[in-house]
Chains A and B, each alone.
Chain A
Amino acid sequence: MWNFSDSVHLTYLQQTLNHYRRMACNPQQDVSAELEAYRRLLPDV
């Protein structure tokens, strides 16, 4: 499992979620599945 008490893991997952949030601003790119998956993984972000 991802270890949410490990700052390296958390940083990586948050960066990844933010990356997909930025990509989602472009309507030509469908990253809804990625966003949903990482949001579910990081429910408090």
Chain B
Amino acid sequence: MKVSRRLHQLSEMVRDHYSHIWDCCCDHGLLGQLLLDRGQADCVHFVDVVPALMTQLEAHLQQTYSGKRWQVHCLDVARLPLSNYTQAGKPQLVIIAGVGGDLLMDLVTAICQSQPNVSVEFLLCPVYHTYKVRRALADLSLGLISETLVEDKQRFYEILHVSAAACEPVTPVGNRCGTSQIRFT
């Protein structure tokens, strides 16, 4: 499957295996399909609020991924039913990419505050306002697992992998973006 550098980089940053991965604001679900291909989760959840997109995506997944576990949810990301899928000791991964920083932080804040006892990691790629996002993540006591920078179609994107269990603080301007995965041939 041919995908953008940004989506490729996001999929590469999913290094562990998760019980549940949530591809939020998934649009056509390309990132989630990459993760299905790679077997990164017991179940990949595709989430968006646009009914027509989700109907189309569900039909495609039924044709292409009938042997894999996935679910399609047409709902507001702020209301993810994470607590229905909790497994002891296993964090779920919530991916939010391709939306503005303000909306992204509203969503992360809503998830953290509504389900404080659910073990969750976030993989985030805001389109704007990265400084504000970083400050807000620190205010939510989320720590850094990894971060990187990707250049895609002459635009730059910071990608942040964070969780409440991580101890390294999220700094306002970033402190250890890697270099090896920035350029793709």
B65 at the interface (CB under 8 A from A): no
Q: Is the CB of A12 within 8 A of B156?
A: yes
> Are A8 and B151 in touch, CB under 8 angstroms?
yes
Cβ-defined contact, A3 with B179, below 8 A: yes
B171-184 vs A, CB cutoff 8 Å, 1 = contact: the mask equals 01111110100110
B173 near A41 (CB under 8 angstroms)?
yes
Is B149 touching A8 in the complex (CB atoms < 8 A)?
Answer: yes
Query: How many residues of chain A get a CB closer than 8 Å to chain B's CBs?
Result: 15
**Chain A residue at minimal CB-CB distance from B177:** A2
A15 with B156: in contact, given A8-B151, A8-B183 (CB under 8 Å)?
yes
- Given the complex, which residues of A lie within 8 Å of B172, measured CB to CB? 33-34, 37
Known: A15-B156, A34-B131, A37-B131. A9 touches B173 (CB 8 A): no
Known: A8-B151, A12-B149, A34-B131. A1 touches B175 (CB 8 A): yes
- B173 and A38 within 8 A (CB): yes
Is there a chain B Cβ closer than 8 Å to A6's Cβ? yes
| Residues of chain B in range 145-185 having any CB-CB distance to chain A below 8 Å | 149, 151, 156, 172-177, 179, 182-183
Q: A8-B183, A12-B149 are in contact. Are A2 and B174 (CB under 8 A)?
A: yes
Docked CA distance A8–B179 (Å): 9
For A2, list chain B residues within 8 Å (CB).
174-177
Residue of B nearest to A42 (CB): B173
Nearest CB in chain A to that of B172: its residue:
A37
Docked Cα-Cα span, A15 to B174, in Å, equals 15
What mask results when residues 1 to 44 of chain A are scored 1 for a CB within 8 Å of chain B, else 0? 11100101101100110000000000000000110011001000
Sample (14) of A-B pairs whose CB atoms are under 8 Å apart: A1-B175, A1-B177, A2-B174, A2-B176, A6-B182, A9-B149, A9-B177, A9-B179, A15-B156, A16-B130, A33-B172, A37-B131, A37-B172, A41-B173
Interface, chain B (partner A; CB < 8 A): 130-131, 149, 151, 156, 172-177, 179, 182-183
